[in-house]
Structure 1
């Protein structure tokens, strides 16, 4: 574009006569900043790496943690005391049985008796943990739940799922329960946590499931049970039914002081995952550790984080919170801050969360850009257009 041949005085007069063109240029569209992110439980829980806010005298976090994701929270207040990538979506293994219990446990009287049909214990994943249920035998509901909690029996989960209307209806109900709990990281594919493509959860969501379960007295009873007798086969000669002992596979139960439960899980794809709850001096803490370096480490790291959590009472500020379950009709309990379904992921560490006052995010140009426009106007109309375009392009790249 050629520059019109005007004198400097004429250009200055033109600028003075029409200032609105410089204040609100119609030809330059301001770049749109992305919408503010919403992370369930608080923005810091969406940031990568360790999140902790210590006060004076706070103990240091353990330094040998290997879990890909973990979270320490207060089960009563919901305060998150520390976390490491708590919204990372990972295979949950049998810790998904916590959500299964949240969904199905309230539906059946524990003294009810159910006769198991052969089809109810078919199509269980190869290599699954089993409690040893047999077809055409009667089982009390409480026996089935002991099979779920102590032996992590996928056969017990399948029987209870059939009692609940079937495998897929139970999966659908579990997903609905997860949604009500605001567990947005969780996708349910199987009721027992067996490895399936796309089945994912997070340390944050598993903590939501555990806190919900611990509010149910039967849930607390089952997850705290160390040993029990389980019904066996019927002797063909005597007609008498035998029984055999089962033991909780939670390696911290009975060893860590004050441990309540809750659930462990291990599969080839998920590695080891554990959700543990412990009570001490009137405080109940929840720790979830996902995918540490080895099977034993999941227990060691849970114990270390519980120790740290109890020692940190009153010495750390919360970095987030466990949100409350939504009430019927989709309403959230009064005073409970939560996130938004379908919210975009958090900004990467170090990226701006929105426009900064006085920066290019305000109007696409900023004070430096507008100064350039003013100078350009004195030089020529063509230079103004070029400067505006260059400045707008620079501003737009800030958000890519």
Structure 2
């Protein structure tokens, strides 16, 4: 990915790390409504008349939001998802959206928040022997990678199981290592708040349907954007296939032998399928599918120096792989529209980044940053970020994975000269024949 066009006047050099600055003008920590009812019931056919305005007033309106003008391509007509969003991953500009803040069941796309919360906690070579209690409470019909009790796995193995096979068994083992499911859910909710993902309420860390568990296309896009700052997150999300440890068995002469088996990423835009080709420039991120959520997907792709994020939730069209087909159509539109269409809102930075931004006035707006053409009535219409969470460990403002290392990002004046998020070069791996 080409380096950002804007010049950062001050930079910190860290071994194998590239410094870009963090952030957008501080927006809206408008209180999001609390979960009402259970997503276990069939979702309403229509979105609420009023939704969260985090990221801009237009994102809180029901229906499609886009600034069509001369030279801007028309949106694809065959997109049936209840909710979707197309955003620039670097600048955070939301190019178009449809019911962006509609709170719906997220399915396994919620694992992006799980990974963004837990990945920094355990080195990849950490080994863990699975006990029966680690696998307790996994929902019936869950997607599984095939973890066995009394077998030992590395954290690296477990994350491959989470990202490639959406393994709820891997999620539960990692949660057990993190002081249990309840503690993990608590930390995920805290991290969502730090990211200003206020539509999200986590009940189960694996995204399994649970009463009151909701997120939105906007929030899922925030999770993907935050996760893609981390090198290991990018690598796992872009891995097409890998070997996974199997069960230990007795081999010849009574020797114990542990074989492995291949697992493939279930992200069809990355791995391809009979009716879905690998999408040019795709680099992740995560798919999901449950009874209540339907099919959900967030993807990131790069073309011509532009990096876009697209989230699609619950297409109504019942075709095979429809969520990937609609995502591809929105990506195609986004790459054609980028640089031509005026944004309708923005992806907000984490609270910590907004608070650390020097020159911010009491309303939370950074001097001279501008509106970015959101069409929401200028920066004054963007709500200010609220105070940082008491437990700063849940934020990503302290350490973000960039290229070869973790980079502490509180670099002061850099915020004033560059509003781009420090999204590093993406890791793309194509399926091998």
Q: How far apart, in 1, do the equivalents of 2:232 and 2:201 lie?
A: 26
Structure 1: give runs of 5+ residues left out of the alignment.
Answer: 1-35, 343-400
Q: How does 1:335-350 map to 2 (within 5 A)?
A: 335=366, 339=383
Alignment partner for residue 89 of structure 1, among 88, 98, 103? 103
* Shift >2 Å, 4+ stretches: 330-342
Q: Return the offset for 1:341.
A: 8.2
Is 1:244 matched up with 2:261? yes
The residue number in structure 2 matching 1:323 is: 348
Q: How far apart, in 1, do the equivalents of 2:224 and 2:279 lie?
A: 18
- TM-score, length-scaled by structure 1: 0.74
Q: Return the offset for 1:219.
A: 0.3
Q: How far apart, in 1, do the equivalents of 2:299 and 2:51 lie?
A: 30
Q: How far apart, in 1, do the equivalents of 2:68 and 2:207 lie?
A: 36
Helix, strand or coil: the match of 2:55?
Answer: coil
Q: How far apart, in 2, do the equivalents of 1:37 and 1:185 lie?
A: 9
Is 1:312 matched up with 2:337? yes
The residue number in structure 2 matching 1:282 is: 305
Q: Return the offset for 1:333.
A: 3.8
The residue number in structure 2 matching 1:219 is: 233
Helix, strand or coil: the match of 2:245?
Answer: strand
Q: Return the offset for 1:77.
A: 0.3
CA contact (8 A) 2:269 2:282 kept: yes
Q: How far apart, in 2, do the equivalents of 1:211 and 1:259 lie?
A: 14
The 1:284–1:197 alpha-carbon spacing in structure 2 relative to 1, beyond 3 Å, is: same
CA contact (8 A) 2:51 2:60 kept: no
Q: Which has the larger radius of gyration?
A: 1
The residue number in structure 2 matching 1:156 is: 170
The 1:37–1:50 alpha-carbon spacing in structure 2 relative to 1, beyond 3 Å, is: closer
The residue number in structure 2 matching 1:193 is: 207
The residue number in structure 2 matching 1:256 is: 279
CA contact (8 A) 2:351 2:385 kept: no
Helix, strand or coil: the match of 1:133?
Answer: coil
Task: Report the RMSD for the aligned CA atoms in angstroms.
Answer: 1.9
Q: How far apart, in 2, do the equivalents of 1:339 and 1:107 lie?
A: 32
Q: Return the offset for 1:111.
A: 1.3
Q: Return the offset for 1:238.
A: 2.4
The residue number in structure 2 matching 1:184 is: 198
The residue number in structure 2 matching 1:50 is: 64
Q: Which has the higher helix share?
A: 1
- TM-score, length-scaled by structure 2: 0.68
